[in-house]
Amino acid sequence: MNDARAVAQAIVAAHGLRFGAITAAPVSAPVFSSDDPVYRGAKQACSALGFIEIDAECLAHAWRAQTLRLSNFDAALWPDAPADFGMRPFPPAARDDAFPPCPERLGLYAVLPDAQWVGRMARAGVPTVQLRFKSEDAAAIEREVRAAVEAVRGTDALLFINDHWQVAIAAGAYGIHLGQEDLDALSPGQLAQLRASGARLGVSTHGYAEMVRADKVSPSYIAMGAVYPTTLKKMATAPQGVARLAAYARLLRGYPQVGIGGIDAVRLPEVLATGVGSVAVVRALVAAEDPEATARQWMAAMDSNAVGN
Ligand SMILES: Cc1ncc(COP(=O)(O)OP(=O)(O)O)c(N)n1
Ligand SMILES: Cc1ncsc1CCOP(=O)(O)O
Ligand SMILES: [Mg+2]
């Protein structure tokens, strides 16, 4: 295929319904880094399908790589082979520099504001909990992280600490969750220190380019969001929706995956249908009238809705 316009039209025709294409032309004309017609057509199409610039660029290169690999342009085949995205061979856990593994299905994942909530949800049987304690006060952070580690003792809950990785390592937490900016802020020495600690690492992503970036450190799991609008956190990107989440989940099979952002009981089945093995929530539990009962209902729903059951 050597006509970029035909490539763009074919991709939009094949995937527009799923990804909700609003227009055949992107809001602003894409910038091209190659003259290859598949790359150019795919970038045009992915921009029209609403992907942000860095993700449209990433996808366009993947379409080109897929076309070269198959010696054929097939508009129906949305790219989902890690090699086409320039990722190292999967499974990532087999790489020499991989962070320690965590369960493939982290299940219900409660993201919680303090150690008391962490203890409460751990005792309710929630399999994965996170301390997301936002503070600039070093003493308060240390106190809360240590209290969270104590709070899960005697339960089966796996505890991730958001942001405060050095304190988390010192306190012996099971794992650490970092955002892309947190990851970018790490020096090579600090990344090596994190790896050497033996703690699991979870990384936030908001699209293809960030997934490729996250994969470079071979984390223990990859979180994807925000799936739906959320009032809990100001997001830099629009909600991803379940169609994209499903496409991300196919690309990242081989990683434990977590969907996050605006997930409620009604949306839970369609999120699980994407194949992610875990659903992370804040308000669904913290704002529930009876958080323990809600946690039990969600865990039961996840058991019966899990893909593969
Ligand atoms: C499971 C999970 N996924 C994503 C996030 C968001 O983390 P981050 O990008 O570090 O943003 P803050 O939570 O620090 O605001 C998360 N905490 N947990
Ligand atoms: C911390 C975070 N990161 C992405 S969305 C989000 C908040 C999720 O909260 P809720 O489940 O209440 O929408
Ligand atoms: Mg963070």
pLDDT in tens, the chain (309 residues): 669 999 999 999 999 999 975 554 555 678 999 999 999 999 999 999 999 999 999 999 999 999 999 999 999 999 999 999 999 999 999 999 999 999 999 999 999 999 999 999 999 999 999 999 999 999 999 999 999 999 999 999 999 999 999 999 999 999 999 999 999 999 999 999 999 999 999 999 999 999 999 999 999 999 999 999 999 899 988 999 999 999 999 999 999 999 999 999 999 999 999 999 999 999 999 999 999 999 999 999 999 876 664
Q: Do 41 and 118 lie in a common domain?
A: no
CA-based nearest residue to 266, from 297, 225, 226: 297
* Ligand 1, atom 17: closest residue by C-alpha: 162
Cβ proximity of 146 and 132 under 8 Å: no
pTM of the model: 0.96
Residue 234 Cα to ligand 2 midpoint, Å, equals 9
Ligand 2, residue 261: give the atom nearest the CA: 5
Domain membership flag for residue 107: yes
Quote the domain boundaries for residue 16. 4-79
* Ligand 1, atom 5: closest residue by C-alpha: 204
Q: Do 75 and 96 lie in a common domain?
A: no
Domain membership flag for residue 291: yes
The alpha carbon dihedral of 142, 111, 303, 244 has a sign of negative
Residue 154 Cα to ligand 1 midpoint, Å, equals 26
**Count of domains for the chain:** 2
Q: How far is 23 from 37, CA to CA, in rounded Å?
A: 21
Ligand 2, residue 263: give the atom nearest the CA: 11
* Ligand 1, atom 10: closest residue by C-alpha: 179
Burial 49-71 (b: 16+ CB within 10 A, else e): bbbbeebbbbbbbbbbbbbeeee
Q: Do 13 and 56 lie in a common domain?
A: yes
Ligand 2, residue 287: give the atom nearest the CA: 12
Q: Is the CB–ligand 1 distance for residue 204 below 6 Å?
A: yes
The CA R_g of the chain, rounded to the nearest whole Å, is: 20
Instruction: Specify the residue for token string 């240390």.
Output: 142
